Amino acid sequence: MKFILAFLLIVNALYASVKEVTLSEAIKIALENNKQNKISKIALEIANVQYKQAISANYPAINAMVVGQRVKEDVIYQQRGTFELPADLAIALGRSSIPADIDATALGRDTVKGSLNLLYPLFTGGKISSVIEQAKLNKLLAMNTIKRTDLDVAYDIKKYFYGYVLTNELYKISKATLDSMTYVESLTKQFYESGDSLNVKKTDYLSIQVTLALIESIVAKIDANRFLVKSALANAMGLPWDSKIEAKYTNNELLPPKYSLSKLVQSAYKSNSDIRKMDIALKISKEQIKEQQAGHYPTLAIMGEVSHTYNSYKYGYLSDDKENSWNVGFAAEMPLFDGFRTTNMVAEKKLEKKKLHLLEDMIKDGVALQIKNELNTALIGFKQIQTLKKAKKLATNSRELHIRAYQIDAVTSQKVIESQYIESYVKADYLKYVHDYLMSLAKIDKLIGEEVR
């Protein structure tokens, strides 16, 4: 009793650790765990910081500076010559001039100066505004990269999820086929050994055994593929290597793709990540042209300084009333000739923009063609699904009828094998078309850049 209880607890624990996930849950988990998505989000943060750096050019630059120095010796003011005296003073002194040989300290050895400097650009020919706009567009580019990463993750999850559902259903079909053919094999053995059947010979019995062995091999192969696809799904979701998951798929009634090709293409032109990237790149190129064109225009800035200076000599150049100082001014720079450098840089950016226009047209045509192909594939696949859905029922009925007939020795074993093969083939073909249909819709979603259903 204790052994049975322990066994049940172990089995329960094993099954409890298997996590069932729906498609939407799998996509959500993958988006949360995807490292490339996290890198893209960091890139967005970098772009946001760069934008803040760019807009700082709109504000004045204010810098505080302190400079201290000691020189070899005091600065001595020397003067040689004579002073010419005014007439009334010359009469009083009885001389017209006096000697002017003076050696006086002008500045002490030690000087410390603290200052506050301001520089504010008034006009840069549009360079600052274009740089700021480029930084803003780079933020949009980073956001578009995040969206593209999310779309790639969602598509990969759909691919592995639908792939697992396909292999899992194929495994069920092959297992059911194996069980059915095992029963036929035992029935054939009974007929052969008893000698009651007029249709069953030794060759029939051997043929059944070979068929059974082949089916066993197919079952093992599909089971191995099922394991690999499940592992790929867990890896794409960013789960640990030892995670155990089970795809929970509800095979709802498949709806026909009632989409207008022109509307799908127009939607893709608005939201496809590659086209959006080219749109943003073109806007950046336009701002780069403005940035280079600014080299043809003058730049104008105002500047000012407030300072206080201490000197080790109390008098001289820096007496008490000279220690504090301020000044305000402006600076203007006008480009006259740079060897046509600016002109050629502008021409280069214009050619790059023209190139981007051509690339955008190519991408648009490529996206439209891919959407058209996937939509046609989906439409054809949906028709095949409806046809094979009917064929499945007929094939199943035919296989059951042949087995009942075989039980009363009314048909040969070859007919039973053929009916079993046909049923398995039709069911597998049906699953393949369902898988391809769902993948075509997933590709359309990825090409457009959003869910369209």
pLDDT (tens digit per residue) in 27-76: 999 988 887 778 888 888 898 888 888 888 888 889 999 999 999 998 88
Question: What is the phi/psi pair of residue 249, to 5°?
Answer: -120, 125
Query: 9 falls in which pLDDT band (50, 70, 90)?
Result: very low
pLDDT at 10 over 70: no
The answer, yes or no, to whether residue 369 has pLDDT greater than 50, is yes
The half-sphere exposure of 7 on its side-chain side, counting CA atoms within 13 A, is 4
Mean pLDDT value of segment 286-298: 93
Structure token digits, residue 85: 């005296």
Q: Two tokens at 360? A: 């955008």
Q: 90 falls in which pLDDT band (50, 70, 90)? A: confident
> Which of these ranges, 133-142, 160-169, 244-253, has the smallest mean pLDDT?
244-253
Quickly count: other Cβ atoms within 10 Å of residue 15's Cβ.
10
- 54 contacts 132 by C-beta, under 8 angstroms: yes
- Give percent above pLDDT 90 in the chain: 56
| pLDDT at site 85 | 82
How many Cβ atoms are within 10 Å of 169's Cβ, its own excluded? Answer: 20
Q: Give a three-class secondary structure readout of 366-400.
A: HHHHHHHHHHHHHHHHHHHHHHHHHHHHHHHHHHH
Q: Report the C-alpha gap between 250 and 104 in whole angstroms.
A: 102
In this structure, what are the phi and psi dihedrals at residue 239, rounded to the nearest 5 degrees?
-85, 155
pTM score, two decimals? 0.77
Sign of CA dihedral 387, 388, 394, 398: positive
pLDDT at 7 over 60: no
Residue 5: per-residue pLDDT: 38
The first and second tokens of residue 412, run together, are: 């040969």
Q: CATH topology for 17-71+108-448?
A: Outer membrane efflux proteins (OEP) (1.20.1600)
Q: Which of 292, 252, 73 is nearest to 165 (CA)?
A: 252
Q: Residue 302: pLDDT above 70? A: yes
Model pLDDT, residue 213: 93
Half-sphere exposure of 191 (CA within 13 A, CB side): 25
Backbone angles phi, psi at 201, to 5 degrees: -115, 175
Whether 134 contacts 206, CB under 8 Å: no
pLDDT of residue 112: 94
Question: Coil, strand, or helix at residue 251?
Answer: coil
What percentage of the chain carries pLDDT values higher than 70?
95
Give me the count of residues in the chain.
453
CB hemisphere CA count around 430 (13 angstroms): 21
Pairing of strands 19-21, 245-247: parallel
Give the closest residue to 368 by CA, choosing from 437, 276, 268, 452.
268
271 contacts 151 by C-beta, under 8 angstroms: no
8 Å CB contact between 164 and 184: no
pLDDT at 1: 40
Among 8-17, 181-190, 219-228, whose mean pLDDT is lowest? 8-17
- pLDDT, tens only, 333-351: 899 998 999 999 999 999 9
Q: What is the reported pLDDT for 18? A: 64
Which among 95, 77, 76 has a CA at the least distance from the CA of 85? 95
Q: Is the pLDDT of residue 3 over 80?
A: no
Q: Give the model's pLDDT for residue 265.
A: 95
pLDDT at 68: 93
pLDDT at 2 over 60: no
pLDDT at res. 413: 87
The pLDDT of residue 95 is: 82
At residue 218, does pLDDT exceed 70? yes
Return the structure tokens found at 240.
Answer: 């640990």
> Mean pLDDT score of the chain, rounded to an integer?
88
Say yes or no to pLDDT of 221 above 70: yes
Query: Judging by beta carbons within 10 Å of its beta carbon (0-12, 13-18, 19+), is residue 82 exposed, middle or buried?
Result: exposed
Q: How much is the average pLDDT of 217-236?
A: 92
**pLDDT attached to residue 252:** 64
pLDDT at 387: 94
The residue extents of the domains of the chain are: 17-71+108-448, 79-105
pLDDT score for 4: 35
**CA 382, CA 259: separation in Å to the nearest integer?**
13
Strands 75-79 and 324-333: what pairing? unpaired
Phi, psi (degrees; rounded to nearest 5) at 181: -70, -25
A 10 A CB-CB count for 108 gives: 20
Given a cut of 80, is residue 131 above it in pLDDT? yes
pLDDT of 250 over the 80 cut: no
